[in-house]
């Protein structure tokens, strides 16, 4: 093959080579970061040089989806590869609540730990109400060897949190900001974990969820912000970017760069400004999308998604294939050579084919159900370019072509009756199946 032809082949694919060996895995998850909050996703003010570089060195997904428009079910969907309603996690989980991700659920971490991976979770957990209690499963029960976590938000704020627990032991008051504290823990763990094993590291930031607090030098960098709380929010996103930069630098210095699948994303869309009294710092942006957190329109579930996988993914790639959190478990199982669970219904599909421009072997559309969603629409599916939303009774529908109408302005349900009826039947059948448990 001529060199010119070889380069043309590379240009047509996001993949440079087939993976060799089992990759290390790093999943970085933000809390309430909007689709439009990063510089590389079009924010006109916030500076995110480290995440810009991550996108330049890897793949930026344009159609990346959380499993729910709110935190706890979204995280459950990411860990299990299943629509979170199947697991009974249907809303955010208050402290002390009986709601939790059941012990019977099989997570990415438990599968990888059984296959020899060293596993670690740092940051926000929010998959149970009775945190650090024997009454409900904790991160170690769901596959994490080491955990340094909080039930929900860093409290009293991101600054000097007091509510972290390390492997079942309360840590007490800490100095500094949450993003730095959890990255420090992640780096410390990377220095100590057994080097004869691959690692699986979940870094779940609290930022930029309320109650927002940010270092003064970063806040001062956004002195032109005029709205109350705006500079605090912008600085909070910039703070996460700096923490990500430190963590990626650690991977490089430890020679993990080439062997690591490193994903950055967010658990749902941005919080609405002033939705509740403490939300006056919530200046997140959904970009061109309709809706925000708690909506089933795109702004509630479509989130940033950036993947760096050196030697496997072509730098600077952009992928438009719809990818969801529920796809992560089957993807990582395939990448690590681990069998995915066969005794339960998985709702996701491996997205490794999408990295080389091939279609996913998706057996069903991406699905969302949130009974407390703002607005009339409570259920939605996405199938290819098309998205269908339904009310709680599954009687009223809205239909959008997201490839031509990213802002969901033009309801095509009246103009596309055949497509509407076909998708409505798929939605109803899937909805009924998910309600069974």
The answer to whether 297 and 377 are in contact (CB under 8 A) is yes
Residue recorded with tokens 């927002």? 212
CA distances (Å), 124 to each of 37, 92, 140, 158, 243, in order? 20, 13, 14, 11, 15
Most distant CA pair in the chain, distance: 65
Catalytic residue among 30, 43, 71, 295: 71
Task: Give the strands of the sheet with 366-369, arranged side by side.
Answer: 366-369, 379-383, 386-390, 397-401
Burial class (CB in 10 A: 0-12, 13-18, 19+), 364: middle
Question: Has 71 been annotated as catalytic?
Answer: yes
Burial 291-324 (b: 16+ CB within 10 A, else e): bbbbbbbbbbbbbbbbbbbbebbbeebebebbbb
- Closest of 236, 180, 212 to residue 43, by C-alpha: 236
The answer to whether 178 and 4 are in contact (CB under 8 A) is no
Burial class (CB in 10 A: 0-12, 13-18, 19+), 197: middle
Catalytic residue among 43, 100, 121, 126: 126
User: SS3 string of 187-223?
Assistant: HHHHHHCCCCCCEEEEEECCCCCCCCCCCHHHHHCCC
Backbone angles phi, psi at 196, to 5 degrees: -85, 5
Give catalytic residue positions.
71, 126
């Amino acid at each position: 093959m001529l060199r010119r032809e070889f380069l043309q082949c590379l240009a047509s694919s996001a993949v440079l080579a087939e993976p060799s060996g089992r990759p290390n895995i790093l999943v970085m998850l933000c809390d309430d970061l909007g689709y439009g909050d990063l510089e590389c996703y079009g924010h006109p003010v916030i500076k995110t040089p480290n995440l810009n570089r991550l996108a330049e060195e890897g793949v930026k997904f344009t159609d990346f989806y959380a499993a729910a428009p709110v935190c706890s079910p979204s995280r459950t969907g990411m860990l299990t590869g299943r629509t979170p309603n199947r697991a009974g996690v249907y809303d955010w989980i208050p402290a002390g609540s009986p709601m939790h991700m059941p012990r019977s659920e099989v997570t990415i971490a438990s599968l990888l730990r059984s296959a020899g991976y060293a596993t670690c979770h740092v940051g926000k957990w929010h998959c149970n109400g009775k945190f650090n209690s024997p009454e409900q499963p904790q991160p170690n029960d769901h596959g994490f060897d080491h955990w340094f976590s909080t039930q929900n938000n860093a409290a009293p704020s991101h600054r000097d949190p007091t509510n972290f627990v390390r492997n079942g032991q309360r840590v007490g008051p800490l100095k500094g900001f949450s993003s730095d504290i959890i990255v420090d823990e992640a780096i410390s763990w990377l220095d100590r974990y057994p080097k004869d094993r691959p690692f699986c590291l979940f870094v779940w930031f609290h930022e930029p969820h309320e109650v927002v607090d940010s270092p003064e030098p970063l806040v001062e960098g956004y002195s032109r912000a005029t709205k109350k709380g705006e500079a605090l929010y912008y600085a909070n996103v910039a703070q996460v970017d700096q923490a990500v930069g430190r963590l990626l630098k650690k991977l490089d210095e430890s020679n993990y760069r080439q062997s690591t699948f490193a994903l950055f994303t967010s658990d749902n869309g941005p919080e609405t400004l002033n939705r509740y009294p403490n939300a006056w710092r919530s200046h997140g942006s959904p970009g061109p999308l309709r809706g925000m957190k708690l909506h089933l329109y795109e702004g509630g579930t479509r989130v940033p998604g950036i993947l760096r996988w050196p030697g496997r993914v072509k730098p600077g790639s952009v992928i438009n294939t719809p990818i969801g959190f529920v796809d992560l478990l089957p993807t990582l199982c395939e990448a690590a050579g681990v069998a995915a669970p066969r005794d339960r219904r998985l709702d996701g599909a491996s997205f490794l084919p999408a990295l080389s421009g091939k279609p996913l072997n998706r057996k069903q559309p991406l699905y969302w159900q949130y009974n407390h969603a703002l607005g009339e629409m409570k259920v939605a599916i996405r199938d290819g370019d098309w998205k269908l939303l339904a009310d709680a009774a599954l009687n009223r529908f809205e239909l959008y072509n997201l490839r031509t109408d990213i802002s969901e302005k033009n309801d095509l349900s009246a103009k596309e009756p055949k497509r509407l009826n076909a998708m409505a039947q798929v939605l109803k059948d899937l909805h009924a199946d998910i309600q069974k448990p």
